[in-house]
Amino acid sequence: MINMNINHETRSENSFVFSHVGIFVKNIALMRTFYQQALRLYVTDQGVISGRDIVFLSQDPQEHHQFALVSGRPDLEQFNVINQISLRVQGLHVLRSYHRSLQMAGAGNMDPSTHGNSISIYCRDPEGNRLEVFMDTQWYCDQPMKASVDLNQSDEQIYRQVEDIARSANKFKSRDEWVRDMHNLMAHTKQ
């Protein structure tokens, strides 16, 4: 099993956990098959976002995805195959703290967003690599989906907005229900 997590009980409130990686690929079908076979990852969602095919893969029922494969990698050698580097935080107050730190450090293209199942800050580092700092929500909805979030709103306003967005999407359910479904999916197909 790929372990990208640390023990949540031993880390500080302001620390982050490496969560998942997304990479651009030339042949998404070939790469999907490779990661499913080579690393025993399961497809948890797939679709199209911003005109690109995306496949989400995970081996951990607690993680919506540990890998995301995104179509559109050109043949250019100088192209960065890393789509994003994602870091999980615990709570909206920590997410806001990172938002301020990223702004102060000069991160570009700040994009606070929600996927229904998370609240994220996307940005670019000084060399243009995309970073995501995010927190999980208690909801699940089918992916991919993305909507803007204003982090200047109160916690209550943000949570209400995110829940409304998640509830309006197909396959809405609680995160606990989704985790149970993923446990069942992965338990039935293990050898």
Question: Other CB atoms closer than 10 Å to residue 132's CB: what's the count?
Answer: 20
Domain covering 17-185 assigned CATH 3.40.50.2300 in the classification: no
Q: Bridge-partner residues for 25, per DSSP? A: 71
Question: Other CB atoms closer than 10 Å to residue 121's CB: what's the count?
Answer: 24
Separation CA 90–CA 15 (nearest Å): 8
Q: What is the pLDDT of residue 137?
A: 97
**pLDDT tens by residue, 48-75:** 999 999 999 998 899 999 889 999 988 7
**pLDDT tens by residue, 123-152:** 988 778 798 999 999 999 999 999 999 999
Tokens of 141: 């909805």
Q: What is the pLDDT of residue 81?
A: 76
Q: Is the pTM of this model over 0.85?
A: no
- Which helix (H) or strand (E) segment holds residue 140: the answer is strand 139-140
Give residue limits of the domains in the chain.
17-185
Separation CA 135–CA 101 (nearest Å): 16
Q: What is the pLDDT of residue 135?
A: 97
**pLDDT tens by residue, 2-47:** 333 334 444 556 667 778 989 898 899 998 988 888 778 899 999 9
